[in-house]
Amino acid sequence: MDWVAADYSSLLWWLDMTGTFVFGLSGGMLAVRRQLDLFGVIVLATAAATAGGAIRDMAIGDQPAAVLRDPSYLLVTFAAGLTAFFLHRLIERASRPVMLLDALGLGTFTIAGTQKALIFGLHPASACMIGVLSAVGGGVVRDLLVTEIPRVLREEIYAVAAIIGAVLVVLGDRSGWPPLATAAIALAATFLIRILSVRLGLRIPRAP
């Protein structure tokens, strides 16, 4: 079954790279909006892109964290920061670009975190928790660096979307679905739930 392990390893790497770039871009775009300089843009992009994965790896005991072992993570993060710095006007033409990028990053890191936790033998409930932590961790650090209340604590359906995506990954793993199909379904569900929650103004109840 070495080919199965190889497929999972390759899928996780690509999910990590995608999530790293997308979250890095969201961090860079937020930095540009806050009128930070190039160094500030790179710092915020790096924080948003790598914090979630580092939290995940520390929690499951994969040390040193992947971001410290594989230089690809920092290269992708640097590329995301430069993209935001030089192409922010083009990106801003999209409707709410930071939210869209954040939703995509939320989905990719949810899947990567949950699948990696399952590979390390964690219980499905624990794997879901790791998936959610890795998905929201980068956004929390990004928001705190610019003195914002993290979106996971104040915005529309956010962590709930990640929880649903993580549960779908666990169900796919238990049901023997192909890894790529599982990832695609979970990513689509997480992304669409997050986007629809914003479009429709859905919120978790607040204290009266």
Calculate mean pLDDT across residues 145-158: 83
> 155 pLDDT exceeds 70?
no
Q: Where is average pLDDT lowest: 9-23, 25-39, 56-70, 91-105?
A: 91-105
Q: What is the pLDDT of residue 1?
A: 39
20, 76 Cβ separation under 8 angstroms: yes
Handedness of CA 54, 59, 65, 66 (dihedral sign): negative
Q: What is the pLDDT of residue 207?
A: 77
Q: What is the mean pLDDT of the chain?
A: 89
Residue 7 pLDDT > 60: no
Q: Helix H segments across the chain?
A: 2-33, 38-60, 66-69, 72-91, 97-119, 124-145, 151-154, 159-175, 179-200
**Tens digit of pLDDT for each residue in 31-52?**
999 999 999 999 999 999 999 9
The token duo for 47 is 């924080």
Q: What's the whole-number mean pLDDT along residues 124-132? A: 96
Mean pLDDT confidence for 9-13 = 81
| pLDDT value, residue 8 | 60
